[in-house]
Amino acid sequence: MPKTIAIVIFDHAEEMDFVGPWETLGAAAEKDPDWQVILVAETPDPVTCEKGMCVFPTHTYADIPTPDVIIVPGGDGAKEQLENPATVQWLQTAAPTCTWITSVCTGTFLLVGAGLTTGRRVTTHHWFLKELRDTTDANVVEGVRVLRDGNLVTAGGVTSGIEMSLWLVEQIWGAAHLDYVKGYIAYDTPPRTVMEV
């Protein structure tokens, strides 16, 4: 079975938070049959996103118990999923074997709620930094676009998911693969440096 990058989707997920990583990492995985990028959700039913886009998951939580990489988008749905035991339990079960656990924007709230950030440094969208500080014992860092603490990577704003995904491409496949993907998606702006702690 190929190694799996599982992008979690749910009702009211912010579209760009997962579509940007899907396009970026999908372009990388197309060149390597040992990897796949999937959209995973609790059920196979269509998901209605924050701005109204309807998306069908490619897999359910039951299909993918141990992904290699998890990407959690933000949007109002990320906070709503804190009340969904299926999503929280899947994250808690899947995370220990992951090479990378990541979130985009307010997806960090869901990682916090699943107990995956205790004692670690995280970031989120700049509008929600104070709220995140008020709800977590993690160290919330402001003024950074993408933040890595061990295998936990959190990205600040909506489009930062693309930058985080380009960073992941280089970690997984190397610099030559990164150059290919940047050319394919026509991303010619140097991404901001990932802050590592």
CATH number of the domain within which 36 lies: 3.40.50.880
Strands of 69-72's sheet in order across: 59-60, 35-41, 3-8, 69-72, 100-104, 152-155, 146-149, 195-196
Please list the alpha-helical segments (H only) found in the chain: 15-29, 76-80, 85-94, 107-113, 129-135, 160-173, 175-184
Q: What percentage of the chain exceeds 90 in pLDDT? A: 75
In which element (H, E) is residue 103 found? Answer: strand 100-104
pLDDT one-digit tens code per residue, 29-47:
998 999 999 999 999 999 9
Q: Are 137 and 106 in contact (CB under 8 A)?
A: no
**pLDDT for the residue 134:** 85
For residue 172, give the amino acid letter.
Answer: I
**pLDDT for the residue 2:** 86
Confidence check: pLDDT of 6 > 70: yes
Mean pLDDT in residue range 4-33: 95
Confidence check: pLDDT of 136 > 90: no
Global pTM reads 0.93
Q: Which residues are marked as active site? A: 105
> Residues near 143 by Cβ (< 8 Å), separated by ≥ 6?
none
Q: How far apart are the first and last CA of the chain?
A: 33
Tell me the residue range of the domain where 123 lies: 3-196
**108 or 138, which is more confident:** 108
The total of structural domains in the chain comes to 1
Confidence of residue 193 (pLDDT cuts 50, 70, 90): low
Give the C-alpha separation, 79 to 139, whole Å. Answer: 19
